[in-house]
Structure 1
Amino acid sequence: MSQTTKLADLKVKLFTDGADKAQIVEMAANKWIAGFTTNPSLLKKAGVKDYEAFGRDIVSAVPDRHISFEVFSDDIPEMVAQAEIIRTWGENVYVKLPVTNTKGEGLYDAVRGLSRDGVKLNITAIFDADQTARAIDAVAGGAPACVSIFAGRLADFGIDYAPLMRNGIKRARETKNVEIIWASTREVYNVIEADQMGCHIITAPADVLKKLPLIGTKTGAQLSLDAVKAFREDAIAAGLSLSGKARSAAE
């Protein structure tokens, strides 16, 4: 992708990952934000106590874009029951189900049943090719669904996520009702990567997405000069000094 690429050139759909209502509303003001994803860790960070009240409030605030809310039980039948509750919060709601529970028991049968029952799903915590394939197969032919591959967390452990992402995207594009979400985004360039790979969606923290209007606005040379100026300004502001006179080039 060339340096002249702008935000408007991106084909990948941009979702904000977070559970702070004020931030969600702020990001929703940007028409280029296509949806929102949450999870129990983000809910904890945001201090959410009444989950259903929070969920319905967010749907009311942003009724026109995808919003993912995750179940939190570890018992598969109860997870299914929670999914049935969450689906009632709004037409734009996708229910997030982890690919397994904490015992490593797969949720593929539960996913298949819910999807055939018309529940929009977001299968999350996907980290390998087998999980990707089985998740896509479980929702294929059912309600609209997403499969979230945690590319960023794989990278944190030195694992090359690119083959997994490309394979998942290819499989999903052969399945009409399934989209791949690039999850656990770490930096702006991940958005460029996702777009180049043809990924359907990337979800990222707001602080990453807020940088996107800057893409394609500066060359490497301009960024270099900006860095040199910043170093100079900070040296002056810090009052840095060295004793002794500078030697001339001739010396």
Structure 2
Amino acid sequence: MAIKLDDLKIKLFTDGADKTQIVEMAKNRWIAGFTTNPSLLKKAGVSDYEAYARDLVTAVPDRHISFEVFSDDIPEMVAQGRVIASWGQNVYVKLPVMTTRKEPLYEAVRALSSDGVKINLTAIFTAEQVAKAIDALRGGAPACVSVFAGRLADFGIEYAPLMRDSIAQARATPNVAIIWASTREAYNVIEADQMGCHIITAPADVLKKMPALGTKTGEDLSLDAVKAFREDALSAGLRLDLGGRAAAE
């Protein structure tokens, strides 16, 4: 039986930083939250971080929004995290699993989480990182661990065992949810849902495909493709000299 949008139990988050797009996606009640990061902020042309973030929280006050620290110094990251947490009750502070010098942030995360700061620990790629992240967050404020399944796949690394193990560990830890991150295609949403993942974050272009889930068969898609090829051939004005051969030959 084909899976439809209404069948999904997983929470759907939009990954992006363009305010217009976020507000537009927020009109869909099946979008449960939003995630940003410095790379997305750069792409969106954000320069005044706090003004941008507070404006966004005002525009979307009722759903999860992750804002990431950008320092590479752990004490400063903690300080930035406390400032970011003050922007709204729905704000999660996104922290990377390590600095650029490979200094782990587990103890910093533990301290923030125990103080009531909602955390989204990101850039997670290994089973060891998942285990340490969940241990650091256990018993603290509501938290997320973002595992980059899509980027692992980009490098030919099988992600399914890591995702299943991560989900199982988080399911045994009441305050921690797993975010399936770096989503590449609509079917990843179904994969994540079938694994019991709590949340998946994906670009708006991927999530906009969700209402179409389960609405077409393989035969329908085949006919759609053939029609598109024919229409494009006609609109392109393609010609082929058959050299006098009969069209039916």
Q: Same fold (TM over 0.5)?
A: yes
* Other-structure match for 1:233: 231
Partner amino acid, structure 2, of 1:42: L
Show the 5 A alignment for 1:29-48: 29-48=27-46
The 2-side partners of 1:38 and 1:145 are apart by 16
Q: Residue 155 of structure 2 is aligned with which of 151, 157, 174?
A: 157
The 2-side partners of 1:248 and 1:62 are apart by 60
Structure 1 residues 233 and 248 mapped into 2: Cα distance closer, same or farther (>3 Å)?
A: closer
Q: Residue 135 of structure 2 is aligned with which of 134, 137, 162?
A: 137
Structure 2 runs not aligned, ≥5 long = none
* Other-structure match for 2:119: 121
* Other-structure match for 1:82: 80
Question: Identity percentage over the alignment?
Answer: 77
The 2-side partners of 1:133 and 1:248 are apart by 66
* Other-structure match for 2:222: 224
Show the 5 A alignment for 1:1-251: 2-3=1-2, 5-243=3-241, 244-247=243-246
Q: TM-score, normalised by structure 2?
A: 0.98
Structure 1 runs not aligned, ≥5 long = none
Report the aligned-residue RMSD.
1.0
Deviation, 1:57, is: 0.5
Q: TM-score, normalised by structure 1?
A: 0.97
The 2-side partners of 1:102 and 1:139 are apart by 22
Partner amino acid, structure 1, of 2:229: F
Partner amino acid, structure 2, of 1:136: I
The 2-side partners of 1:39 and 1:201 are apart by 17
SS in 1 for 2:136: helix
Structure 1 residues 241 and 149 mapped into 2: Cα distance closer, same or farther (>3 Å)?
A: same
The 2-side partners of 1:228 and 1:248 are apart by 19
Aligned length: 248
The 1-side partners of 2:244 and 2:89 are apart by 72
Deviation, 1:241, is: 1.5
The 2-side partners of 1:106 and 1:247 are apart by 72
